[in-house]
C-alpha cells in the first residue's frame, strides 16, 4: 500500500520518496503538470492514488552543487515549521546510470536526480492576484496576506537560530492555500547567518525591483535586504503593479492620497454591485 504521510516534527528525519514514484504521480513530469519554474528548477503537481496533491520541485543540474550542500539544504528545510512558511514534505536523491555519447562513444555516466516535495498550495502564487487584470481581493484579505508574510519573515529572522535570510522575497515566492493564507516559499537563494549578521557577496542575489540600495551599490547583505523586498511587496499588495510604478514620480503624501482614493472607489463600486444584486 502506498504511504505518503506528511506529518513530521523539526527533529524528524525527512521522508524519502523514490524517483519512480515521483515520476508516476507527476505523469512522467509532463508539461501539463508544471505549476511553476524558476532559476533552480521546475515545479510539478503530483497526485497520489488517494487524490492527495503535493508540489514536486525538480532541481536543475547545477555545476558546483555537491551532495553535502544538498544535505545542508534539506536540514534547513526541515527546520522550517511555521504556518506562514510552505511545509517541506519529502525529498528524492538518486543516482542512475545513463548511456551518453563521449568522444564518439557511448559510455555510462551518472545522472543525479534531486527533487524536493512540498505541500500543495491550491491558490497558486500571490503575483497572479496583483495583476492589473485582477482586482478581486478585498481589503481584509490583503491585510491578512500582508500580516502573514510579516509573521513568516519574523520567524525566519528572529525565531530561528541561526536566522535565515530569504534574499528573493517577491509575490511569485508567496503561495496561497485554499483559505488564502500566505506562505513564503522558494528558499533557493537563502543564506544562514550566524553571529555575523552582515556580509559582502560577489554573487548576484534576488530580483530586480526588490533589491535594496546597499546591495545594488555595495553588494551588502543583511536582514534589511528582506525588509526592503517586503516593503515593495506590501506596496504592490495595496496598490497593484501600476500603482507601485507611479510611486517614484510623486511625493509620499500624494501617493497615500491616490491609494486612499482608489480604495474608496473600489469599495463604492463593490457596495453598488451588492445593492444591485439584492434588488433583483
Spell out the domains of the chain, with CATH numbers in brackets: 15-119 (3.30.200.20), 126-249 (1.10.510.10)
Window from 1-10, 69-78, 213-222, 234-243 with minimum mean pLDDT:
1-10
CB atoms within 10 A of CB 26: 21
Digit-coded pLDDT (tens) for 149-178: 999 999 999 999 888 888 889 999 999 999
- Our measurement of the distance from residue 276's CA atom to the centroid of its chain's CA atoms, rounded to an integer in Å, reads 39
Pairing of strands 53-59, 220-221: unpaired
Question: Which of 50, 61, 110, 168 does the annotation list as catalytic?
Answer: 168
State residue 111's pLDDT score: 87
Which residues carry a binding-site annotation for ATP?
57
Q: In the predicted model, is pLDDT for residue 59 greater than 60?
A: yes
Query: Bridge-partner residues for 97, per DSSP?
Result: 110
Return the CA Rg of the chain. Answer: 22
**Count of residues in the chain:** 280
Q: What is the pTM of this model?
A: 0.80
3-state DSSP percent of the chain in helix, strand and coil, to 5: 40, 25, 35
**Alpha helices (runs of H) in 207-251, residue ranges in sequence order:** 213-218, 223-246
- Is residue 110 part of the annotated active site? The answer reads no
How far is it, in rounded angstroms, from Cα 32 to Cα 19? 19
Amino acid at each position: 500500500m502506498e504511504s505518503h504521510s506528511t506529518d513530521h516534527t523539526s527533529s524528524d528525519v525527512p521522508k524519502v520518496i523514490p524517483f519512480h514514484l515521483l515520476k508516476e504521480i507527476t505523469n512522467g513530469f509532463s508539461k501539463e503538470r508544471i505549476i511553476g519554474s524558476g532559476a533552480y528548477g521546475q515545479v510539478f503537481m503530483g497526485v497520489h492514488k488517494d487524490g492527495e496533491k503535493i508540489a514536486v520541485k525538480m532541481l536543475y543540474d547545477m555545476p558546483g552543487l555537491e551532495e553535502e550542500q544538498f544535505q545542508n539544504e534539506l536540514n534547513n528545510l526541515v527546520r522550517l515549521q511555521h504556518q506562514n512558511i510552505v511545509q517541506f514534505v519529502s525529498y528524492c536523491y538518486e543516482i542512475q546510470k545513463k548511456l551518453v555519447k563521449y568522444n564518439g562513444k557511448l559510455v555510462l555516466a551518472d545522472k543525479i536526480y534531486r527533487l524536493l516535495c512540498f505541500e500543495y498550495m491550491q491558490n497558486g502564487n500571490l503575483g497572479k492576484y496583483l495583476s492589473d487584470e485582477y482586482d478581486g481581493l478585498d481589503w481584509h484579505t490583503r491585510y491578512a496576506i500582508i500580516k502573514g508574510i510579516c509573521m513568516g519573515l519574523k520567524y525566519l529572522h528572529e525565531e530561528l537560530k541561526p536566522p535565515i535570510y530569504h534574499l528573493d522575497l517577491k509575490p511569485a515566492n508567496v503561495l496561497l492555500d485554499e483559505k488564502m493564507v500566505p506562505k513564503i516559499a522558494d528558499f533557493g537563494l537563502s543564506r544562514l547567518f550566524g553571529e555575523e549578521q552582515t556580509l559582502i557577496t560577489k554573487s548576484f542575489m534576488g530580483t530586480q525591483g526588490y533589491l535594496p540600495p546597499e546591495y545594488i551599490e555595495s553588494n551588502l547583505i543583511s536582514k534589511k535586504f528582506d525588509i526592503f523586498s517586503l516593503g515593495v511587496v506590501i506596496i504592490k499588495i495595496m496598490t497593484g503593479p501600476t500603482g507601485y510604478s507611479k510611486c517614484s514620480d510623486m511625493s509620499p503624501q500624494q501617493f497615500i492620497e491616490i491609494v486612499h482614493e482608489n480604495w474608496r472607489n473600489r469599495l463604492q463600486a463593490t457596495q453598488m454591485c451588492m445593492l444591485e444584486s439584492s434588488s433583483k
